[in-house]
Structures are given as C-alpha cells and as structure tokens.
Amino acid sequence: MRRLDQLLANLGYCSRREARDFLRAHGVRGGDGARLTQPALKVEAATVRIDGEPLDHPDGLLLLLHKPLGLVCSHDRREGPSVYDLLPPRWQQRNPGITSVGRLDKDTSGLLLLTDQTALVHRLTSPRHHVEKRYRATVDRDLPPGLGEVFAAGTLHLEGEDAPCLPARYEALGPREAFLTLTEGRYHQVRRMFAAAAGATVQTLHRDRFGPWGLDDLTAGQWRILPLDTWSETSTRT
C-alpha cells in the first residue's frame, strides 16, 4: 500500500503539493469504484484508476529505444537534445527517474535500454554479468588481418587505462566494416579499441544488439516497452 499523493507524484502525474487539486480535477477511483479525494489515503497501485485508466506503469519501466544520431544520453540540458526528449513528458517527471543503461555517444545510433530500475542498470552494465553488446562499425582504412585475435586476447590497452579490455568478439563484414561484441562499456570503447588495435578512426557506429534484445523493426526515434521480468533471461555468469 502506498500513499496516494506519493504514488501520483512518483508516477509524474503531479507534485505531492498539487495532489489535492489533481484529485479534484480527475476521477480517481480505488478498487471498489469509490472516488478518492484524500491525498494521504493508502492505496493499492494496481487497483487505482484515473479517469477510467489504470496507472501508468506503477511497477517500473524498461524501454528499448532505437537511438537516432545527434542525441545525447544525458539529463543535462546544456549538452543539447537528448534521448529523454523522445519520451512522454509525464515520464520525465517520474521518481525514481528514467535513465539509460550505459550510454551511446551522440554520434552513435542504435539500441539503447532505458529504465527506472537501478538494480537492472547495474545487472546489465556490470562486466561481471557478461551481457553482450554488439556494435557495427565502419572505419577510415582497411582493417588488418589478425585483428580478431587482438580483440579476443583480452590484452588490448586503451590509452590512459591500466586494465586491459576484456576479450571481445570481432567479425569482419568488409574491408572497412565489422561487428565488435563487448561485455563491458568504457568511455568511447569501440572507437578507442579500433584506434588502439588498428590505428583506425571509426566513422559510423551503430549498436544492433544488447543481451537478448535486438532492434527488430524499430526505426530511429521509436521505442517499445519491455516486460520488466524479461531481463532475468540475461543472467549468465555471476
């Protein structure tokens, strides 16, 4: 059971202070159909209806977004247009807030997960859990033979970092194009790995897989809601 004003505020309908007015302005009803007017009332979220509609994902959200180029994964307005601008305004008022599971650079497109579940963010980003992320990269020069072994060895050092990259899987798609599959997510990792191992500059970068998920038919800017319990499928090693 949760306090009604807290519940409405956490789901982004209004602030706690505005709850009384919100309850006057909307038909908010409990499981027995009775109108709820007292902000302090304790309610079962699953039974509440607002103007006939169930509450908007009261148990949390997990989204799969096809991130377009040019958007940042930051809540800081000063960094420019962000992936959060693609979401319904009410979701931006939720508490806990929605955050990305790791980040994609402004110049990277593709599969981005977003959630308000902190434990899930940790689970999906911690290298300990070996969740695979696959990137498709094009580069500015022909990729040398033997690059797959270099990435697989787990000995590649990125500038300024002590620990070598974990083993990564490389699949050449053409002389200047490849898939690279990682189980960690360091800053600009794919770009830095191609630079370190091949002296190559990544020109386009797109993530098409994250754990068990693919983009399927989502076009850039579109997202879909994933069931919160699907993520347990990504559990591999602990």
Nearest to 50 by CA among 13, 21, 18: 13
Of residues 31 and 221, the one with the C-beta less far from ligand URA? 221
Of residues 59 and 140, the one with the C-beta less far from ligand URA? 140
- Min dist CB 149 to ligand URA, Å, is 21
Handedness of CA 144, 136, 141, 105 (dihedral sign): negative
- Min dist CB 27 to ligand URA, Å, is 45
What is the β-pairing status of strands 213-214 and 133-139? Answer: unpaired
- Min dist CB 74 to ligand URA, Å, is 13
Beta bridge partners of 62: 115
- Min dist CB 135 to ligand URA, Å, is 6
DSSP 110: E
Handedness of CA 206, 162, 155, 124 (dihedral sign): negative
- Min dist CB 126 to ligand URA, Å, is 16
Of residues 76 and 229, the one with the C-beta less far from ligand URA? 76
Q: Please report whether residue 67 would count as binding ligand URA according to CB under 6 A.
A: no
- Given the structure tokens 């500059």, which residue do they identify? 201
Nearest to 156 by CA among 103, 104, 203, 194: 194
Q: Please report whether residue 191 would count as binding ligand URA according to CB under 6 A.
A: yes
**In whole angstroms, what separates CA 74 from the centre of its chain?**
11
Q: Please report whether residue 16 would count as binding ligand URA according to CB under 6 A.
A: no
- Residue 160 and residue 158: Cα distance in Å, rounded? 6
Binding mask 150-189 for ligand URA (x = CB under 6 A): --------------------------------------xx
Q: Distances from the Cα of 139 to the Cαs of 98, 172, 198, in angstroms?
A: 33, 12, 10
Count CB-CB contacts under 10 A for residue 29: 16
Q: Please report whether residue 29 would count as binding ligand URA according to CB under 6 A.
A: no
- Residue 4 and residue 23: Cα distance in Å, rounded? 10
Q: Which listed residue (21, 56, 85, 105) is catalytic?
A: 105
- 105 is a catalytic site residue: yes
Candidates 50, 113, 205, 215; binder of ligand URA (CB under 6 A) is 205
Q: What is the footprint of ligand URA within residues 114-153 (CB under 6 A)?
A: 135
Segment near ligand URA (CB under 6 A); pick from 29-37, 101-109, 118-126, 150-158? 101-109
The burial of 5, by beta-carbon neighbours within 10 Å (0-12 exposed, 13-18 middle, 19 or more buried), is given as buried
Candidates 82, 100, 108, 115; binder of ligand URA (CB under 6 A) is 108
Query: Could you list the residues that contact ligand URA (CB under 6 A)?
Result: 104-105, 108, 135, 188-191, 205
Q: What are the catalytic residues?
A: 105
